[in-house]
Structure 1
Amino acid sequence: MCQYDLPLKQCPVLKVLIRMSGIWRNSIFCLRRGKVPQRCQSGNPPVAPLGSRILTDPAKVFEHNMWDHMQWSTEEEAAARKKVEENSAVRVLLEEQDSEEHRKGPLKPEPFPGSNATFRILEVGCGAGNSVFPILDTLQNAPESFLYCCDFSSGAVELVKSHSAYRAAQCCAFVHDVCDDGLPYPFPDGILDVILLVFVLSSIHPDRMQGVVNRLSKLLKPGGMLLFRDYGRYDKTQLRFKMGHCLSENFYVRGDGTRAYFFTKGEVHNMFCKAGLDEKQNLVDRRLQVNRKKQVKMHRVWVQGKFQKPLHLTQKSSNLLFSLS
């Protein structure tokens, strides 16, 4: 039971308020009557309620450590105003104010993997590194670039890190659950130039997808790009599911327990735009896959998009991001 659900006399918060109201009531009563209750000698606990020690005889000002409800004379208030005007007449220079702020805090942010890079990429759901190593090969001639890659599976991340082509100086592979909003990334927000989100979002429950996209959006720097590719509605993978494997509308579970969702272009548009990103590309990629040996034709449907973090947030998009965070 919440303490606010208790009967009035049992509620600890109300008990405190009642005690305090007694103090206020006694003090106000004394002031209205013009009476000051007799006090004990200074240093001993007061017998009068708090707020009732009133100085009526200036000659006795040093008999107690503190007096209540003191009224300033016109001269005292004028002297205080003059002192404030004097001590605020000369202001600290703006550049010195900035220097003071810098002295209070660190001069530069704490180092993190890839902190010296000028171009940073994150691949979400890197698996065993099928995309990691082609990207690293491309980045060999770009030492100022850095690649982050993460996966839910610790085994997959270990495979990446143990690969002969893995270079810790230009790559950071780490285990991460993108559905855990409270789990920090090994780098600060707002520093990524590119995020690769390829056949990852479809494996996440539809109720959690928007939260994942919102979080990834925060990782991008202004002008940064998120590249998306995933299953489209009525792809042959969706058509091949047997009855009893559908979890919810267009969301299925495979025999190995992994999940698959099948997107429409409109769903993709809404999700990324709600996260504050601008749509640069959003298309349905339809292909005909042919098995020549079995003489079988299969229709493949994928959704592909490019979504960019605005260079300058408008007030509307800023309010939207605030409401989603």
Structure 2
Amino acid sequence: VTKEDYGPVTVLEVGAGAGNTAFPLMAMNRNRELKLHACDYSARAIDVIRSQPAYIAQESPAVLQADVWDIASQELPPGLAAGSVDLVLLIFIFSALSPDQWTQALRNIFTLLKPGGEVLFRDYGRGDLAQVRFKKGRYLDENFYVRGDGTRVYFFEEQELRDLWSRSIGGVAGGVEQTAAFEVQNLAVDRRMLVNRQRKLKMYRCWMQGHFRKPSQADESARKSESCNNDLDVK
């Protein structure tokens, strides 16, 4: 998306923090038609992004826009309309939500994406070192814990994520009724053993990596046509 000849593209990073992804993207960007929206639940994090020289020095029209936004809210992010986003980045975001917030978060993402738009996802997997280290007093629910600073973290299983992202999304987000589901393009478990030679420690990490897609209008037309043909065959 940062290549000079890529063309118009809008990227939304959810949970942007202090801009550790957004600013490197800006630095390597050669695409004059790139629009990058960085959103975070924390107003303090957004203030940090907005105070950076690279953000302040942007020429008009700005590449990067940073705003406070809760992915589990009923509203869409400032400056973004339904069907306006090409790519959504979700890096360690869903694990910080309560399971009862996942559906609304999915609705919002689905609403924001253009037909054919994509999601790049990375989060904690069940059995990760961080989960093993939690003490009993930090347990909230199955695979769901609270850290010492009060933030929460959930550890996913592969089939659980596959079911979550491929199920039909009902309800309303940003005033738009949703009835479709994401397509799971790729979903894999990334298991690694990291070695701290100085402390002689082996650390077993487990992350989930996913690539999801909102069906295009052509996909929907083909699906409806197939459904009609199946109905005729039954009759």
Q: What's the CA shift for 1:131?
A: 0.6
In structure 1, the residue matched to 2:157 is 264
Secondary structure of 1:174's counterpart equals strand
Q: What's the CA shift for 1:182?
A: 3.5
Over 6 Å off, 4+ runs: none
- Structure with greater proportional strand content: 2
Q: What's the CA shift for 1:136?
A: 1.1
Give a deviation string over 1:179-199, Cα, whole Å, max 9, x none: 111455421111111000000
In structure 1, the residue matched to 2:189 is 284
Q: What's the CA shift for 1:236?
A: 0.3
Give a deviation string over 1:276-319, Cα, whole Å, max 9, x none: 11111100000001111110001100000000111122349xxx
In structure 1, the residue matched to 2:229 is none
**Count of matched residue pairs:** 199
1:303 equivalent to 2:196? Answer no
CA RMSD of aligned residues (A): 1.5
- Structure with greater proportional helix content: 1
Secondary structure of 1:287's counterpart equals strand
In structure 1, the residue matched to 2:133 is 240
Give a deviation string over 1:37-88, Cα, whole Å, max 9, x none: xxxxxxxxxxxxxxxxxxxxxxxxxxxxxxxxxxxxxxxxxxxxxxxxxxxx
Q: 1:209 aligns with which of 102, 122, 126?
A: 102
Q: Is the 8 A contact 2:86 2:118 kept in 1?
A: yes
Matched-pair identity in %: 42
Secondary structure of 1:148's counterpart equals strand
In structure 1, the residue matched to 2:177 is none
Q: 2:21 aligns with which of 119, 131, 134?
A: 131
Cα distance in 2 for partners of 1:215, 1:129 equals: 22
Secondary structure of 2:211's counterpart equals strand
Q: Which moved more, 1:265-274 or 1:227-236?
A: 265-274
Q: 1:230 aligns with which of 120, 123, 145?
A: 123
Q: For 1:285, give the aligned amino acid.
A: D
In structure 2, the residue matched to 1:120 is 10
1:148 equivalent to 2:41? Answer no
Q: 1:194 aligns with which of 77, 87, 92?
A: 87
Q: For 2:184, give the aligned amino acid.
A: E
In structure 2, the residue matched to 1:162 is 51
Cα distance in 1 for partners of 2:197, 2:12 equals: 37
Q: For 1:134, give the aligned amino acid.
A: P
Give a deviation string over 1:20-42, Cα, whole Å, max 9, x none: xxxxxxxxxxxxxxxxxxxxxxx
Cα distance in 1 for partners of 2:186, 2:54 equals: 32
Uncovered stretches (5+) of structure 1, i.e. residues with no partner: 1-116, 317-325
Secondary structure of 1:310's counterpart equals coil
In structure 2, the residue matched to 1:3 is none
Q: For 1:129, give the aligned amino acid.
A: G
After superposition, the Cα gap between the structure-2 partners of 1:248 and 1:286, relative to the gap in structure 1 and judged at 3 Å, is same
Cα distance in 2 for partners of 1:307, 1:229 equals: 11
- The alignment's TM-score, normalised by the length of structure 2, stands at 0.81
